[in-house]
Amino acid sequence: MKAIACELPARLGLPLARLHVPDIRAEVISRGLVANISGMTIWRWLDEDAIKPWTHRSWIFPRDPDFQSKAARVLDLYAGEWEGRELLPDEFVISADEKTSIQARLRRHPTVAATSGHPMLVEHEYERGGALAYLAAWDVHRAKLFGRMEPTTGIAPFARLVRQVMDEEPYRSARRVFWVLDNGSSHRGDAAVRRLQQAHANLVPVHLPIHASWLNQVEIYFSILQRKVLTPPEAESLADLAAVILGFQSSYEELARPFEWKFTRADLAKLLARLAEKGHANLLAAA
């Protein structure tokens, strides 16, 4: 019963995306495993082992052949190290990225506040008021936050964010400022490295592996912004949307503390070893 519950429906010849209890019941009966059984019994057996075949989790398969080495050096930076030594007091770590296409949704009717009788009511229909991109940079160890609103992402908008940070002390006169970046089109590849270092001699770009945004600390801040400001999405205008986001940035920074990042180089090695044991070594060539 439990083995069937964990199977992919396609392998069972079923035209389904996910299995639910009635589907499992029909399958075991059709196979003659039992003459009859109730859905409640199946539910109880599955619940004992926390098996929930009707749920799923999205997964992006890492495909960078240097996944481990690239990820490890970023984790070292978070731990205050670089190439085997501790960072000096005048060396800093910045995590940066873009949150693209944030829509200004102008609701047809005003939102109604929650009361004891009903939750907050948000009008379903809205007019599109345009969209903006939010570029942000997070100082990993100082909990310092920089951000700007731009009409779109791109090389020039990202360069303006970098300049916004690097023109300010202590970064301007720092020994080195490490920028942790993903592989977005605004800042990927050797051309981006040359461009950034020509503009700022003390800037050291450090690229994450492909499909490893979960290692970029600024994504934690973006998730907080999404929950606290952009859900549900609502704005009176494009200018209002920009003002709300930058207003939240200022208020968040007043109370911000460095994230308690506990995932280390050693944890990464253990994770890759577990994947290899489960037969997923082909997913991560570095494992």
**Can you list the domains of the chain with their CATH numbers?**
2-48 (no CATH), 67-255 (3.30.420.10)
Nearest in space to 177 (alpha carbons), one of 201, 147, 148? 201
- State how far the Cα of 158 lies from the Cα of 191, in Å rounded to an integer: 14
Using CA of residue 228, residue 153, residue 171, residue 179, what is the dihedral sign? positive
Termini Cα distance of the chain: 34
**Under 8 Å CB-to-CB from 150, ≥6 apart: which residues?**
132, 133, 134, 135, 157, 160
- State how far the Cα of 101 lies from the Cα of 135, in Å rounded to an integer: 11
Torsion of CA 24, 27, 28, 31, to 10 degrees: -170
- State how far the Cα of 181 lies from the Cα of 203, in Å rounded to an integer: 12
- Region of 27 on the Ramachandran plot (φ > 0 left; ψ -120 to 50 alpha; else beta): alpha
The mean pLDDT values, 10 residues at a time, for the chain of 287 residues are 92 93 95 94 93 82 84 97 97 97 91 89 90 98 98 97 98 98 94 96 96 93 96 91 97 96 93 74 42
Asked if 44 and 5 count as a contact pair (C-beta separation under 8 A), the reply is no
